[in-house]
């Protein structure tokens, strides 16, 4: 098979993901076959509720080999999950189902059936254990990958939060030279090897206007020395820049990537600029993992109004690699 399949873990069963998957699948514009790991029961319930008619090719997977894939049907590995309605409230009930879905996906990857993984939205509140801030860290732990990074990718501009889903009060403790240098080297290597680009990188400061009156001035004592070390390693990197001005049009157009110190510092302007036209790539795993840049969005379940753009772009990105 010329194009290896793309593995898709549907994630939280009570979300908008299957709706946008059905919409994306109907476009049928991909070279790579898709393998969906989900509940057949939930799929049928949601297809009926949303008025989609797509045939299912139920795959047999015994942990070692996989039955034949179809181009025109949804290739499904069923993971049992039972509920009466097409849509219900998110709860702890889906925890074991999601965990089993990831285990099946990682087994397929270990067997080299694919090195491409997409997962639908996961409720951090109900699925993740306290030691994991997000799926980035969860998959890092499952694959024993110590240095991982979150890249929110768009071909015109991407961002990376140095710290991910942690409380704001905990951010400063995670701002270290090692953390900055390791993550930026990891992303720089990804751009060069996978995207064939030597990226132009901007890095923000931690404090407003990159100024602090405290004894520990993170911008001057940690971020500036880290940038100098990376420049000496021949990276195209500048900063630190105030986060409130680096995203201005004439500033951002100089860079391929903006690295921020915490989640909302870079995710808020990114989503304002591109909305759904961005994908979340986990870098540092032994495979490429992407999550469409949206959550479960319970308020939109069953309305058939959700935009599939982010999932389409995630599949398109992997389809060309």
Which tens digit of pLDDT belongs to each residue from 171-191? 999 999 999 999 999 999 999
Cβ 56 vs Cβ 74: under 8 Å: yes
Q: pLDDT band at residue 129, thresholds of 50, 70 and 90?
A: low
pLDDT at 1 over 60: no
The span from the CA of 201 to the CA of 63, in Å, is 42
Q: How far is CA 199 from the centre of its chain?
A: 20
CB under 8 Å to 202, separation ≥6 — which residues?
Answer: 237, 238, 239, 241, 246, 251, 252, 254, 255, 257, 258, 259
pLDDT at 262 over 60: yes
pLDDT at residue 3 in the model: 82
The span from the CA of 221 to the CA of 173, in Å, is 14
Omega cis (within 30) before 204 = no
Q: pLDDT band at residue 85, thresholds of 50, 70 and 90?
A: very high
Question: Judging by DSSP bridges, how do beta strands 200-204 and 236-241 pair with one another?
Answer: parallel
Length of the chain: 321
Residue 49 to residues 23, 121, 146: CA-CA distances in angstroms? 14, 20, 42
Cβ 10 vs Cβ 120: under 8 Å: yes
All structural domains of the chain = 1-145+285-321 (3.40.718.10), 150-278 (3.40.718.10)
pTM of the model: 0.90
């Amino acid at each position: 098979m010329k194009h290896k399949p793309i593995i898709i873990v549907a994630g939280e069963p009570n979300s908008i993901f299957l709706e946008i998957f059905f919409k994306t699948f109907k476009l049928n514009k991909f070279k790579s076959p898709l393998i969906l790991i989900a509940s057949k029961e939930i799929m049928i319930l949601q297809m009926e509720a949303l008025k989609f008619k797509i045939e299912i090719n139920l795959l047999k997977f015994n942990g070692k080999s996989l039955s034949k894939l179809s181009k025109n049907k949804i290739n499904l590995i069923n993971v049992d999950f039972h509920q009466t309605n097409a849509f219900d409230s998110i709860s702890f009930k889906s925890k074991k189902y999601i965990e089993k879905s990831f285990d099946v996906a990682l087994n397929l990857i270990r067997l080299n059936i694919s090195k491409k993984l997409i997962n639908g939205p996961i409720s951090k509140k109900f699925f993740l254990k306290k030691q994991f801030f997000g799926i980035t860290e969860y998959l890092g732990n499952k694959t024993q990958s110590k240095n991982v990074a979150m890249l929110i990718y768009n071909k015109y501009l991407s961002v990376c939060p140095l710290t991910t889903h942690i409380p704001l009060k905990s951010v400063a403790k995670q701002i270290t030279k090692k953390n900055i240098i390791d993550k930026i080297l990891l992303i720089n290597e990804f751009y060069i090897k996978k995207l064939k680009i030597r990226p132009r990188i901007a890095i923000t400061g931690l404090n407003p206007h990159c100024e602090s009156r405290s004894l520990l001035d993170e911008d001057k004592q940690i971020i500036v020395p880290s940038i100098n070390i990376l420049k000496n390693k021949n990276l195209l990197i500048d900063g630190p820049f105030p986060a409130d001005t680096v995203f201005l049009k004439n500033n951002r157009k100089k860079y391929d990537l903006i690295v921020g110190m915490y989640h909302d510092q870079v995710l808020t302007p990114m989503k304002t600029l591109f909305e759904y036209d961005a994908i979340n790539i986990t870098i540092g795993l032994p495979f490429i993992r992407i999550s469409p840049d949206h959550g479960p969005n319970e308020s939109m379940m069953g309305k058939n109004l959700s935009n599939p753009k982010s999932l389409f772009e995630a599949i398109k990105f992997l389809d060309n690699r």
